[in-house]
Structure formats: structure tokens, C-alpha cells
């Protein structure tokens, strides 16, 4: 029975508010109708500003600004029941990619016309899991779809982060790789060259350094491992060798240089050899960086 009489106005508002509250402020026309809220009341709420159109048949409740979670929830509602964040968007929502992809990528068992800010992929038999309140496709499915967008080293970084966060199920990923679906060869190549140290790198400079070590067959260091009150950038524990990577602008002021000096003194007091490389050395003279690393590491063999 529809809720239409004046005395039930507060009940309708409460129903809609609770529904939107579970969806980060987003709600769909289909959901409101299913709760018994009439088309006339929905139109009235739109006129009064209680509802704000975000997509065809999808609204923001109470105010137009939804925030990130609400935006994603609205995009999922646009894609229909049982939709899920997919591909790069799923990886980003799982904190395995640090840059939000545009447009958002959503999988749905329903066909949906594309929109400027969301791309809906039709997946008839869709499996969903929930993360931070929103449905996502299984990690392996997101990885497989992302092979069309990510280079091998980027896939390896995502795999390393997934393993570090204990999200990676090796048996599940082997099943997906063995399916023969598009993207399996690229995913297999990333899995076969898995490099866990990438997950501990704090920035692109550190990742480039680790990848240089890999390419040149230098033993892979441990990034950002705590030693006392410090976390040196790169550590070869057996060789008692530390590399500090001096990025642009982060090691130039008197305060920064003083902190670097105190850090180096403390690490050397603990018996470590500390050497430093700049971004310019890594990009301009990688052979020189590798030669210096080998020289230092060979001393301990």
C-alpha cells in the first residue's frame, strides 16, 4: 500500500532518510517506490529540495553534495540492483591504487547506457563482496579487467600491495589465470614476476630504485624497515648497508639537512654503512648507481 496521506509524511521521510543513510546519502527512485513512497511525493521532494537529481532515477537525499562514498553509491544505483565497483575503480576502493580512475568503472548484471562519469560493464553472473560499505567485484576479477589498463609493473605493484594487506588469495588467482579469459596472459606475467618489496615503497622514487635493482640483478633491498626510531629507505640487512634516497625538495632546507645528519649518525652508530642517491643520479646515471651498490655489497661477501 502506498504512503500518500498527510499524516504519514513523517513516516515517509524517516523511511527515505534511513534508506539513504545506509547508502552514503544516495537513493534511487526504484527503492523509494519499493518502500511505498508515491511518485507524487517524490516529485514534491524534488521541488522542495529534499531530493536532488544526480543520475536518471538516482538522487541525493537532503543536500546535493554526496561526497566520494555517496558519488560511488549513486553510480552503483544507476547501474541497477546488484552492481559492484569493478576493474581500476575496485582496486582503488581497495586502496591498491592511489589515484582514483575517471570515469568510474562499474559491473552490473543489467544493461545500462553509458554516462560521462561512469562506465557500466555488463556482467551477467556477477559476484560481489563488500569493502568499506560498498560492493566490489572479487579482487581477481578486478585484476583481470585491469590488465587492459595497467602496465606489467603497475600490476605487480597492485599484487604486492594486495599481498601486504592480506587480500590476495593465491588459489583464487591461479584459478582465474587458468581460465583462458582475456587478460590472463598479462596477469600471469605479473604473478610470475611478483615483487613483494614494491608494497613497502612509499613513493615512485623508491619503487624505481627497487625496479632498477631487479633489472640489474642487484639483491632486492627491504624498503622502510624500522631500525630504532628510524625507517631508512632501503636496507640490506646482511650487508649492514642502508641507502637513503634524497628526493627533490625534501632534503634541502637547514632543518631537513640537520634531521638527515642526525638520522645518519644514529644509523652509523648502530654499525650500518649509509650512502645516499638523488633522483638525478637514478635517472641520469643508473649504471653508476648500480656500480656503487655492487661495490658496497661485494665488500660483505
What's the average model confidence in pLDDT over 23-45?
95
In the block, cell 600490476 appears at: 155
- 190 and 86 belong to one structural domain: yes
pLDDT at residue 8, rounded to an integer: 77
Output 261 or 110, whichever has higher pLDDT. Answer: 110
In the block, cell 591461479 appears at: 174
- 174 and 272 belong to one structural domain: no
What's the average model confidence in pLDDT over 77-99?
96
- 185 and 92 belong to one structural domain: yes
Stated as kind and residue range, the H or E segment containing 205 is helix 204-215
- 218 and 156 belong to one structural domain: no
Q: Decide if 128 is inside a domain.
A: yes
CA distance 242 to 240: 7
Q: Residue 186's domain spans which residues?
A: 79-194
Last residue of a domain, one of 174, 194, 214: 194
- 83 and 172 belong to one structural domain: yes
CA distance 173 to 293: 35
Q: Decide if 73 is inside a domain.
A: no
- Of 88-92, 184-188, 247-251, 267-271, the least confident: 247-251
- 50 and 96 belong to one structural domain: no
Last residue of a domain, one of 194, 214, 242: 194
Last residue of a domain, one of 163, 178, 194: 194
- 58 and 96 belong to one structural domain: no
Instruction: With a cut of 70, say whether residue 238 has pLDDT above it.
Output: yes
- 161 and 225 belong to one structural domain: no
What's the average model confidence in pLDDT over 203-229?
95
pLDDT at residue 254, rounded to an integer: 72
Strands (E), 37-180: 51-55, 58-61, 84-85, 104-108, 118-122, 129-131, 134-136
Domain count, the chain: 3
Is residue 3 very low, low, confident or very high in pLDDT (cuts 50, 70, 90)?
very low
CATH number at residue 212: 3.40.960.10
pLDDT at residue 4, rounded to an integer: 47
- 202 and 189 belong to one structural domain: no
- 59 and 100 belong to one structural domain: no
Q: Decide if 141 is inside a domain.
A: yes
Amino acid at each position: 500500500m502506498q504512503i500518500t496521506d498527510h499524516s504519514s509524511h513523517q513516516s515517509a521521510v524517516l523511511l527515505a532518510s534511513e534508506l539513504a543513510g545506509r547508502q552514503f546519502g544516495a537513493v534511487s527512485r526504484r527503492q523509494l517506490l519499493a518502500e511505498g513512497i508515491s511518485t507524487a511525493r517524490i516529485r514534491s521532494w524534488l521541488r522542495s529540495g529534499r531530493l536532488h537529481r544526480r543520475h536518471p532515477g538516482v538522487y541525493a537525499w537532503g543536500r546535493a553534495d554526496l561526497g566520494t562514498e555517496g558519488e560511488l553509491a549513486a553510480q552503483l544505483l544507476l547501474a541497477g540492483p546488484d552492481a559492484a565497483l569493478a576493474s581500476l575503480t575496485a582496486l582503488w576502493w581497495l586502496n591498491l591504487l592511489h589515484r582514483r580512475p575517471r570515469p568510474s568503472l562499474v559491473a552490473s548484471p543489467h544493461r545500462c547506457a553509458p554516462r560521462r562519469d561512469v562506465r557500466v560493464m555488463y556482467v551477467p553472473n556477477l559476484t560481489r563482496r563488500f569493502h568499506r560499505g560498498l560492493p566490489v567485484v572479487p579482487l581477481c576479477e578486478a585484476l583481470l579487467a585491469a590488465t587492459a589498463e595497467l602496465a606489467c609493473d603497475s600490476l605487480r605493484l597492485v599484487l604486492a600491495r594486495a599481498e601486504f594487506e592480506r587480500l590476495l588469495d593465491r588459489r583464487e588467482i591461479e584459478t582465474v589465470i587458468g581460465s583462458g579469459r582475456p587478460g590472463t596472459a598479462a596477469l600471469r606475467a605479473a604473478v610470475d614476476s611478483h615483487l613483494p618489496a614494491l608494497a613497502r615503497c612509499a613513493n615512485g622514487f623508491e619503487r624505481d630504485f627497487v625496479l632498477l635493482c631487479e633489472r640489474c640483478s642487484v639483491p632486492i633491498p627491504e624498503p622502510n624497515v624500522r631500525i630504532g626510531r628510524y625507517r631508512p629507505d632501503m636496507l640490506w640487512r646482511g650487508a649492514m648497508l642502508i641507502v637513503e634516497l634524497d628526493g627533490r625538495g625534501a632534503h634541502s632546507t637547514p632543518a631537513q639537512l640537520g634531521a638527515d645528519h642526525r638520522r645518519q649518525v644514529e644509523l652509523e652508530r648502530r654499525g650500518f654503512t649509509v650512502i645516499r642517491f638523488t633522483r638525478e643520479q637514478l635517472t641520469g646515471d643508473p649504471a653508476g648507481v648500480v656500480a656503487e651498490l655492487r661495490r658496497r655489497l661485494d665488500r660483505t661477501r
